[in-house]
Amino acid sequence: MTGAISIRRARPGDVPLVLELIRDLAEYEREPDAVVATEDLLHRHLFGSGSPAAECLIGEVDDRPQGFALFFSNFSTWVGWPGLYLEDLFVRPQARGRGLGKALLAAVARVGVERGCKRLDWSVLNWNEPAIGFYESLGARPLSQWTVYRLTGDALHRLAAPAR
C-alpha cells in the first residue's frame, strides 16, 4: 500500500467505521472485549444535538480509511488556556510506516493551534514501545511524575451519591 494520504473530519455516516477502528485499536491494545461503545452512543456524542463530547478525524490512504484520531477539549488552570486531549490515535497495521499517524496527529495539533490551545495531551500504554518511540520522535515527552487515575462503575456512583 503506497499512495496519497488524506485527513478529513468524520461525518455521521462514518460512525460504523469509527466503531470498527475503535475495535481494531482494542484488539491491538490486547483488550478486544473491553469495547462496549455502540453506534448509537458514538453518534449521540460525536454528532448529536448540542455541543459534541468529542471530535474525530479519519485518515485515508488512496481514499481508503486506514486510521483515526479522536479528541476533545480540556482546560489548564495553570496555563489559563484550553488544550486538547487525544483519546485515541490508531492506524491499521497494513498502513503503518507511511506517515498516516503523523498526519493524523499533525491535523489534531492544527485544530488545537487554530483554537488557541496551548497543549495537546494523551496517554500511551507503557508496553507500547512503537508508539512511545513515534511520539518521542515528534518531540513529545512523558510526564513521569504524573499517574493517571480513573473512577468508574460503582465507585463513581458511590462518590456521586448525595451525602446522607
**Per-residue pLDDT tens over the stretch 101-134:** 999 999 999 999 999 999 999 999 999 999 999 9
The letter for the amino acid at 45 is H
Read off the C-alpha cell for 136: 518521542
The cell numbers describing 163, all together, are 451525602
In whole angstroms, what is the distance from residue 66 CA to residue 91 CA? 6
Q: Is the pLDDT confidence value at 2 over 70? A: no
Distance CA 103, CA 66 (A): 12
| Angle, CA 99 vertex, CA 122 and CA 118 arms, to 5° | 35
Per-residue pLDDT tens digits for 47-65: 998 899 999 999 999 999 9
What are the structural domains of the chain? 5-160 (3.40.630.30)
Residue 74 Rama label (left phi>0; alpha psi -120 to 50; beta): beta
Indicate the pTM of the whole model: 0.92
Q: Which of 28, 85, 135, 149 is catalytic?
A: 135
H helices of 73-152, in order, are 100-114, 129-137
Q: What residues contact 92, with CB distance under 8 A and at least 6 apart?
A: 21, 24, 66, 67
Is 135 among the residues known to form the active site?
yes
